[in-house]
């Protein structure tokens, strides 16, 4: 894998309940850069290096996103469960999908793609995407507060399993599962796995020892961590100590 750069920008306060961050990825020299995109429970609105505006996710397993040398892609990442009120599409319909904006929103999507394509630089493209989402947010509903609370607890790892989480939120496990599937794209058990792995990979990239990271993240042991990483990310945990 060739060197590449990746930069995140904090979400505007006005969009913080929907948007986790905006980001920009730039390909390195030489052959196409292939970034491994690991499941995170989120959906993204992405301007690709090929000049296409697409809606991505939520993913159940990792995929490789190619980027030509020196080219850039940028996007806006939404919190788990926050995209359906803005996108107007049930989350399961976008699971493991990469859909052109024009197919999702018709002429509105095509017009946004054209405006972003004509922007002078990445800063202007990012502003256009965030502005469009802000207008959708003003016109639409807020993310489901129960789903947001569930995702936050799952992301932090502070809960006694899915059944215990449902109890903390004062709903049945069946009701919680239905809501999370509808707003995130898959059920709370898979979301728990995805967010735990995301948390663990972040620690590995910070330099944490694999055995220590496995314990902190709540895996039974380092082997369990490795198996989950291969199942969801397609590689061993040690790979992430060498990549941004």
Q: Are residues 120 and 85 in the same domain?
A: yes
- Beta-carbon contacts of 233 under 8 Å, excluding residues fewer than 6 positions away, are 36, 38, 39, 61, 62, 197, 201, 240
- Beta-carbon contacts of 9 under 8 Å, excluding residues fewer than 6 positions away, are 21, 22, 23, 24, 126
Q: Are residues 80 and 159 in the same domain?
A: no
Q: Are residues 59 and 179 in the same domain?
A: no
Integer CA distances (angstroms), 149 to 2, 63, 197, 206, in order:
38, 28, 19, 26
Please list the pLDDT of the chain residue by residue as tens digits (244 residues).
446 788 999 999 999 999 999 999 987 766 557 788 999 999 999 998 788 999 999 999 999 888 777 788 999 999 999 999 999 999 999 999 999 999 999 999 999 999 999 998 999 999 999 999 999 999 877 899 999 999 999 998 876 788 899 999 999 999 999 999 999 999 999 999 999 999 999 999 999 999 999 999 999 999 999 999 999 999 999 998 876 6
Q: Are residues 88 and 181 in the same domain?
A: no
Instruction: Dump the DSSP string for 150-180.
Output: HHHHHHHT-SSHHHHHHHHTTS-HHHHHHHH
Q: Does the global pTM surpass 0.85?
A: yes
Give the count of domains, the chain: 2
CATH number of domain containing 160: 1.10.10.60
Q: Are residues 109 and 181 in the same domain?
A: no
* Structure confidence at residue 12 (pLDDT): 95
Q: Are residues 47 and 131 in the same domain?
A: yes
């Amino acid at each position: 894998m060739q060197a590449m750069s990746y930069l995140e920008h904090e979400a505007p306060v006005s969009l913080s309940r929907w948007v986790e961050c905006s980001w920009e990825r730039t390909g390195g020299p030489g052959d196409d850069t292939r970034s491994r995109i690991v499941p995170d429970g989120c959906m993204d609105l992405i301007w690709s290096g090929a000049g296409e505006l697409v809606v991505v996710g939520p993913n159940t397993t990792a995929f490789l996103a190619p980027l030509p040398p020196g080219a850039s892609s940028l996007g806006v990442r939404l919190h788990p469960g926050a995209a359906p009120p803005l996108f107007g599409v049930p989350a399961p319909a976008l699971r493991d999908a990469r859909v052109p904006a024009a197919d999702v929103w018709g002429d509105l999507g095509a017009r946004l793609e054209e405006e972003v394509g004509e922007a002078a630089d990445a800063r202007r493209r990012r502003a256009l995407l965030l502005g469009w989402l802000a207008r959708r947010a003003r016109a639409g509903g807020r993310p489901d507060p129960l789903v947001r609370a569930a995702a936050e607890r799952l992301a932090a790892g502070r809960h006694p399993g899915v059944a215990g989480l449902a109890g903390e939120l004062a709903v049945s496990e069946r009701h919680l599962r239905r809501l999370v599937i509808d707003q995130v794209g898959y059920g709370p058990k898979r979301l728990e796995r995805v967010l735990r792995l995301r948390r663990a990979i972040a620690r590995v990239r910070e330099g944490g020892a694999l055995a220590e990271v496995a314990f902190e993240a709540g895996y039974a042991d380092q082997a369990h961590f490795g198996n989950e990483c291969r199942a969801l990310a397609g590689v061993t945990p040690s790979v992430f100590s060498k990549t941004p």
